[in-house]
Structure 1
Amino acid sequence: MEDKKTAIQAIKFTLFSISAGIIQVASFAILNELLPIFDGEYGINYVVSLLLSIIWNFTFNRKFTFKASNDVKKAMLLVLLFYLVFTPVSAILGTMAEARGTNEYIVLGITMLFNFVLEFLYSKYIVFKEK
């Protein structure tokens, strides 16, 4: 029964993550190509687009994937702690890769894949852990 529940959560998480990924890529492209406010600076564009996708993903996965009734503030704090580590590490490594000539969209895609896997595990077993 637990395996079936985890599989269903993984499917829902994947679908919401795809929608969050669309938001992240679209906002990154807008910042990078159409509104070069930050002069095409990968790290800043990445962080802004990541924040938008985090808000989206947290909201929908909390309600529909994990059906969490735990304290929203505590859950948000736990997500913040995850991203306090993930964001600077991924932004620094992404900026380094982009500076060495790797296309910024390839860097973004790889970063998003790592984020997808790590965030599912962290959300399921730490943020929305059932008691």
Structure 2
Amino acid sequence: MHKSDRKEFYRTAKFVMFSISAGVIEIVSFTLLNEIARLPYWTSYLIALILSVLWNFTLNRRYTFKSAANVPIAMLKVFGYYCVFTPLSTYVGNYLVVALLWNEYAATGLNMACNLVTEFLFDKHVVYRNTLDTNEIAQREQHHTEAE
């Protein structure tokens, strides 16, 4: 495997692992809101999604994309992504649960899978496009590689 291919494989793997941790946050908070608080599907989903996004953004910016990008600008771009993704996924999930009688967790799982793929592509090609591997972690790794 070529060095750049290996780097992108590890970047993708990190994104998936951090997304899994965000997914745990999302599903646990969704379960608490859905089962204990008995909130409607869309409310439970929306709150759980916001919690997972904050977690995922923080970890992926620093460790996956290793970006020194301006945080407010990067957050604004991610916010733009979620301005499209959130209403669509909330509507689709609610439709699946209410109209088609899907299980709430199956609908949430489908939305989480769509989110994983589309957000990775958006982050890599839009949010961090020009700032991949520019933070202090990436710089230390570069110096370490050059020293070998």
TM-score, length basis structure 1: 0.94
Distance in structure 2 (CA, Å) of the matches to 1:29 and 1:101: 18
Cα offset for 1:5?
A: 1.7
* 1:107 paired residue number: 107
Report the residue type matching 1:29 in the other structure.
T
Distance in structure 2 (CA, Å) of the matches to 1:119 and 1:128: 12
Unmatched 5+ stretches in structure 2:
132-148
* 2:84 paired residue number: 85
Which of 25, 28, 53 is 2:27 aligned to? 25
* Map 1:113-128 → 2, pairs under 5 A: 113-128=113-128
Whose Rg is larger?
A: 2
Unmatched 5+ stretches in structure 1:
none
1:1-50 Cα shifts (integer Å, max 9, x gaps): 332221111010011000000000000000001122x3xx1111101000
Runs of 4+ in 1 over 6 A off after TM superposition: none
Q: How many residues align?
A: 128
SS of residue in 2 equivalent to 1:43: helix
* Map 1:1-131 → 2, pairs under 5 A: 1-36=3-38, 38=39, 41-99=40-98, 100-130=100-130
Cα offset for 1:130?
A: 2.8
1:31-89 Cα shifts (integer Å, max 9, x gaps): 001122x3xx1111101000000000000000011110011011000000000000000
Root mean square deviation of aligned Cα: 0.9
TM-score, length basis structure 2: 0.84
Report the residue type matching 1:102 in the other structure.
W
SS of residue in 2 equivalent to 1:87: helix
Distance in structure 1 (CA, Å) of the matches to 2:44 and 2:36: 12
